Structure 1
Amino acid sequence: MINATNTTEKDSYYRDLDKMSIHELLTNINKEDKTVPHVVEKAIPQIEQLVEVAVDRMQKGGRLFYIGAGTSGRLGILDASECPPTYGVPFDWVIGLIAGGDVAIRKAVEFAEDDEEQAWKDLEEYAINADDIVIGIAASGTTPYVIGGLREANRHGVATGCIVCNGGTPVAKEAAYPVEVIVGPEFVTGSTRMKAGTAQKLVLNMISTSVMIQLGRVKGNKMVDMQLSNHKLVGRGVRMVMAETGVDEDTATALIEEFGNVRKAIDNFHQNAH
């Protein structure tokens, strides 16, 4: 039986999808997608509180953990995996965990999300402690893996947040700092990889980006600590050094080659200039 507030499982507003033309399908999916940012906007006060706590914990040496199952878990892993190359942070600063382990990133693991005890076991492998923060991601807000993980985190004094797409859910009740983005029924009934997944991705972008900026990982509007792991990024780094210092391309390239990092190249140039 569907809870009255569990809108992610309610029938799509659209009928006879299998009779729609390709143009109709694309237009209607896009129409639904347009509603998502407005819902996220309403949740900004909740997101702000969660970011404040995350920044506080991480400034004190804590780490940010995401836990989730299925699409939600994969989105957490995606966000976590982008932080080191984008902001040059250690790989253990932001960690994404998924029910069923790494194999579940590519292939669904049956019933993995139904184990309330597994998330805390997964977190314990990282020696989680009271300096850390755990954000549970669950479109339905009813995932046992996430509920159990947040409950144990609370018991051990770990800060907790969540991103859910239904109101009044068990996951939100466990989280000290819940974020609820209630996107309504999906275009394909129950397919929460769509609007719910988009909403979760937007919120994750907001959280990790805001946290990293607050932690000093952006200068102006530039990713000065990014990993220079391919030619495109090296070129971007050279342009950033040129813009910040006024040197020519050859000099900027030499600085990048010497220091391997945009921030270090710029700082060294300014130090020597004085």
Structure 2
Amino acid sequence: MSTFNYNNKTVLVTGGGSGIGEALSTQFALNGANVHILDHNLEMAQKVVQQITSEGYNAKAHSCDVSNQKEVKSIIDGIAKEQELHILINNAGIAHVGNIEHTTEEDLDRLYNVNIKGVYNCISAVIPHMKQFGGIILNMASVASSVGITDRFAYSMTKGAVLTMTYSIAKDYINYNIRCNSISPARVHTPFVDNFIKKNYPGQEDEMFDKLSKSQPIGRMGQPKEIAALALFLCSDEATFITGTDFPIDGGFIKLNN
């Protein structure tokens, strides 16, 4: 992925220590960016950083609970004192399986705090800095933002909020040269998927993996690097005419399943 040049660009990636976030952190770094990974699991973030820096690229890990506004602001302000902030990728998120009858108040609060408040906290922290020079905000939404998915009540609610936050930020800050878009993946093969199958379908792992893969019309799950490739384009100078838009990357899930 050498098409896009991110030399001297500072990129913040939340939840960058695993899955899609790891792919995002790695690919932006390989394309020249100074990557800052904000993750509640510092050990995993440091492993990604170690891999990136061992190849001669730039990355740094920060222990960060995105639901804690003071902590988020302190970390982002600290980074901004050392270098201009160019790109924020709000990737951190958590899932929940269940309809409203199987979603407790605690479940709802847990997802709200990370998936909605976490995105709010990070955008709120970078906006004052980006208003000075412009910037790019990319939010990780989901196909669940746009279509109904069985037993994903709380997750769909929070990802719907991510989508509408994207539109609001793009509208409110277009005159400050701040672009804001979102990506809506369908099912992507990450360690979360493997752990979910192992936990809920012991002894049926291969069968369930095949079933979940075929829930996408294209017949397979997405790969984290494919999400990262789309992000590389949307945050690049080649995409400066794009803002206020959601980009499904879903193997045909939204249009061909309904």
Give the TM-score category using the shorter length.
0.3 to 0.5
Higher strand share: 2
TM-score by length of 2: 0.40
Looking at both structures, which has the greater relative contact order when contacts are Cα pairs under 8 Å and sequence separation is at least 6?
Answer: 1
TM-score norm. by structure 1 comes to: 0.39
